[in-house]
Amino acid sequence: MPRASEVTGELISELAERVGGRLSQSPSDLEGHSRDESHHEARAPWAVVRCQSVEDVQAVLEVCRRHLSPVIPFGAGTGLEGGAIPTRGGVSLDLSGMNRVLRVGQEDLDVTVEAGVTLSQLNSELGPLGLFFPVDPGSDPTLGGMVATRASGTMAVRYGTMASNVLGLKVVLASGEVVTTGGRARKSSAGYDLTHLFTGSEGTLGVVVEVTLRVQPLPETVAAAVCPMPDLRSAVTAVIEVIQLGIPVARIELLDEVMVDAINRYQGTDSPVTPTLLLEFHGAKGAVAEQVREVAQVVGARGGRLEEQATPEERSRLWERRHHALYAAKALRPHARTWSTDVCVPISRLADCLLETKAELERSRVLAPIVGHVGDGNFHLSFVLEEGEVEQLKEADELHSRMVERALRMGGTCTGEHGVGIGKAPFLLHEHPTGVGLMRQLKATLDPLGILNPGKVLVVEE
């Protein structure tokens, strides 16, 4: 049997022949593709290919099929569950160079983009046309990456997640075949739903190279508000009431008092250190004013107060604070790294799930501020881990497992939006004891050689 390094050598030379200078083995490229924004252990790929076209993707797959080499799609590297880490080596398929906005359908409120287009790039192109894309995970991923993890974020409560905003995909299968799914009609009952099959498959069923998305008209009026609340339970109760009343808020986010304190320190602000709701309202002028009044009433009845952020500058600062939450958490300890994890539960269980988790945290030595897309029942712990503190990591790991099991017991899911990747794979079988077998059958059908992002999503016995 040839040695692994010999096999790799042949793989590399064949790849070089096919994609030329788009292949790299430079230490900085290998390092840059060895990790994402998660806490999972980095591992370098054998090589990086910066794809410029569908043909490049097909060429890499063809060579990798022959060598049974893993192929790991890579976008912006902003993942939080290690989805893009080459845990078994292989070729990192970098799609960030495929970054053209191919078509903007202004009348139809849809766009088609290559998978490497970033969220900020898309919104920069849409803004001048009076449009925006409302799925907002807080970081700046590629659209391909957002399809991969079925991402959502702060505005899912109003506009839905990637699951409801992707109209169609172009996907290169492991076989090299190109499949176009869905279409531009707003709805269709034509055949099996291949679009949703690939959305959330984390690069394990095919390589998404093109995405057609619904976009939204910029709202006529935007308002935003900060609501300091007396405690966590009253904050969550107010959120439940807002949702039950059917008030169509665009954003309703929670920061716990630890996170408010972290943001104060990081940004030099002096917000009251108490659980706080951040809200945004979109719509016609009268409707927005009505929504603000209704929410103010709900919040007031729970002992909080609604402070409107009147100017666009105040609103920008508000969401900047929210989006920098993870960096603010990280800055709480010197030389720290963060581990951001997410669960999602039916909203009726959100208070219990949050409060039990919070109580455990307070009894532990682990620091972990909480933020949440609470309108969806989704929240995040951001563990702040000091370098080399093995005991802290162990304790965080235990807290994490207990939180996920708690969410599952309450009818929730092990991940609302980060994806399974590496970190949630052990829990998938608990959540879907009957579904995982079928998922494996689908994986075997679409990727019989197992070359697409192996070791992710489905726990496979080694």
Residue list 10-39, contact with a copy of itself (CB under 8 A) = none
Measured CA to CA, the distance from residue 303 to residue 195 in angstroms comes to 45
- Contacting residue, 377, 423, 454, 455, with a copy of itself by CB under 8 A: 377
Residue number, 192 or 388, with CB nearest to a copy of itself: 192
Task: For residue 410, count other CB atoms closer than 10 A to its CB.
Answer: 17
Restricting to residues 153-212, name those near a copy of itself by CB under 8 A: 156, 160-161, 163-164, 173, 177-181, 183-194, 196-197, 199-201, 205
Helix (H) or strand (E) holding 84: none
Residue number, 22 or 373, with CB nearest to a copy of itself: 373
Residue number, 150 or 302, with CB nearest to a copy of itself: 150
Cα 247–Cα 250–Cα 253 angle in degrees, nearest 5: 100
Smallest gap from residue 68 Cβ to a copy of itself (A): 21
For residue 54, with 0-12 CB atoms within 10 Å meaning exposed, 13-18 middle and 19 or more buried, which class applies?
middle
247 binds a copy of itself (CB under 8 A): yes
- Contacting residue, 38, 152, 338, 382, with a copy of itself by CB under 8 A: 152
Residue number, 210 or 257, with CB nearest to a copy of itself: 210
459 binds a copy of itself (CB under 8 A): no
Only one of the segments 47-55, 243-251, 270-278, 315-323 lies at the binding site for a copy of itself (rule: CB under 8 A); that segment is 243-251
Taking CA atoms, 89 is separated from 50, 139, 323, 388, in Å, by 17, 26, 32, 25
Instruction: Report how many residues bind a copy of itself under the rule CB under 8 A.
Output: 94
Residue number, 178 or 273, with CB nearest to a copy of itself: 178
Restricting to residues 315-354, name those near a copy of itself by CB under 8 A: 344-348
283 binds a copy of itself (CB under 8 A): yes
Residue number, 393 or 429, with CB nearest to a copy of itself: 429
Restricting to residues 411-450, name those near a copy of itself by CB under 8 A: 411-420, 424, 427-428, 431-432, 434-439, 441-443, 445-446
Select from 454, 428, 381, 393 the least CA-distant residue to 40: 393
Taking CA atoms, 171 is separated from 57, 115, 148, 177, 203, in Å, by 10, 10, 11, 8, 10
Task: For residue 35, count other CB atoms closer than 10 A to its CB.
Answer: 19
- Contacting residue, 9, 20, 217, 426, with a copy of itself by CB under 8 A: 217
- Check: CB of residue 171 under 8 Å from CB of residue 446: no
Smallest gap from residue 191 Cβ to a copy of itself (A): 5
Task: For residue 195, count other CB atoms closer than 10 A to its CB.
Answer: 21
Q: Report H helices in 108-177.
A: 119-126, 143-149, 156-159, 162-165
- Contacting residue, 27, 286, 334, 388, with a copy of itself by CB under 8 A: 286
Taking CA atoms, 139 is separated from 120, 135, 151, 455, in Å, by 9, 11, 11, 25
Measured CA to CA, the distance from residue 144 to residue 211 in angstroms comes to 7
Residue number, 260 or 326, with CB nearest to a copy of itself: 326
Residue number, 8 or 161, with CB nearest to a copy of itself: 161
Find tokens 């990456």 and name the residue.
145
- Contacting residue, 149, 154, 341, 357, with a copy of itself by CB under 8 A: 149
Q: What are the structure tokens assigned to 292, written together? A: 């603000």
Smallest gap from residue 130 Cβ to a copy of itself (A): 9
357 binds a copy of itself (CB under 8 A): no
- Check: CB of residue 300 under 8 Å from CB of residue 234: no
Only one of the segments 4-12, 33-41, 52-60, 237-245 lies at the binding site for a copy of itself (rule: CB under 8 A); that segment is 237-245
Site string for a copy of itself, 83-112 (x = CB under 8 A): ----------------------x-xxxx--
